[in-house]
Amino acid sequence: MRIVQQDNQHLALKVALRQETMRVAGCLSMPCVCETHGGTGDLARLCYADATGMVIDRDTDRVDRLAFTRPTWQVYEGDAPTVLASGLGAETAWDVLDCDPYGSPWTTLEAFFVTPRALAPIMALIVTDGSRQKQRLGGTVYGWEPWQEHYGQNLWDVFLRCSRDRATALVRHAGYALSWWHGRYGGRTGQMTYWGAVLRQREDRYSDEPAQAPAA
């Protein structure tokens, strides 16, 4: 049996999630967008019509099409985690990070948030995660080991809450805290996870003071 990847299953849900997250982040109009998996460009056409930005894909034909349809954007062909970890786009403070891969988004998200880069005070982060099913079938998915150990098969039931915990821990590296979050399951068996978050720079991000204990 041949498995056909469907790029934009739940297109309406993905569009609504992007619009809501950008609205809450205050960057619905003319955002500066980093799109890590450009695909056929359907989402950008519906969500980022007045945006500028950078888009990456590893597929040569898709990159050619993206470059043709988005003449004002920076368009790159490459493996998203690798090029982000090497500093691509690090000089720009992006308003939106859009991560819509086929499987797990976490290597891409880690490459973005752990690599030194310019950071906007507020940022909309919108993510698709297709790895929930693999975990249910007993597969190991990179970086989920502590949660798999803790929850075992029950990780399926709490996957969204754990995604939020994992995102909170990751964006701390870049001085961000989550100020808003919304997530949904999707797909015929609930195998897809879609979430959006608004990130704000923490006021104490440069502090080397230990947290003060409340006065007795």
Ligand X SMILES: C[S@@+](CC[C@H](N)C(=O)[O-])C[C@H]1O[C@@H](n2cnc3c(N)ncnc32)[C@H](O)[C@@H]1O
For residue 201, the minimal CB distance to ligand X (Å) is: 27
CB nearer ligand X, residue 86 or residue 153: 86
What does the block give as tokens for 66? Answer: 């993206």
Radius of gyration for the chain, computed over Cα atoms and rounded to the nearest angstrom? 18
Q: Are 106 and 165 a contacting pair, CB within 8 Å?
A: no
Q: From 69, 25, 68, 18, select the one nearest 43 (Cα to Cα).
A: 18
For residue 133, the minimal CB distance to ligand X (Å) is: 15
Alpha-carbon distance of 67 to 89, in angstroms, equals 17
For residue 94, the minimal CB distance to ligand X (Å) is: 16
Q: From 92, 120, 119, 123, select the one nearest 24 (Cα to Cα).
A: 123
Q: From 213, 200, 166, 212, select the one nearest 95 (Cα to Cα).
A: 200
CB nearer ligand X, residue 153 or residue 189: 189
For residue 47, the minimal CB distance to ligand X (Å) is: 9
CB nearer ligand X, residue 102 or residue 142: 102
For residue 177, the minimal CB distance to ligand X (Å) is: 27
User: Which chain residues interact with ligand X by CB under 6 A?
Assistant: 7-8, 37-43, 56-59, 62, 79-80, 100-102
For residue 115, the minimal CB distance to ligand X (Å) is: 15
State whether residue 191 is helix, strand or coil.
coil
Q: In Å, what is the CA distance from 61 to each residue of 38, 44, 58, 162, 174?
A: 11, 17, 9, 36, 34
Alpha-carbon distance of 135 to 155, in angstroms, equals 8
CB nearer ligand X, residue 69 or residue 168: 69
Alpha-carbon distance of 134 to 106, in angstroms, equals 14
CB nearer ligand X, residue 8 or residue 168: 8
Minimal CB distance residue for ligand X: 39
CB nearer ligand X, residue 47 or residue 198: 47
Beta strands per DSSP E along 64-133: 74-77, 96-99, 122-129
Alpha-carbon distance of 213 to 216, in angstroms, equals 8
For residue 57, the minimal CB distance to ligand X (Å) is: 5
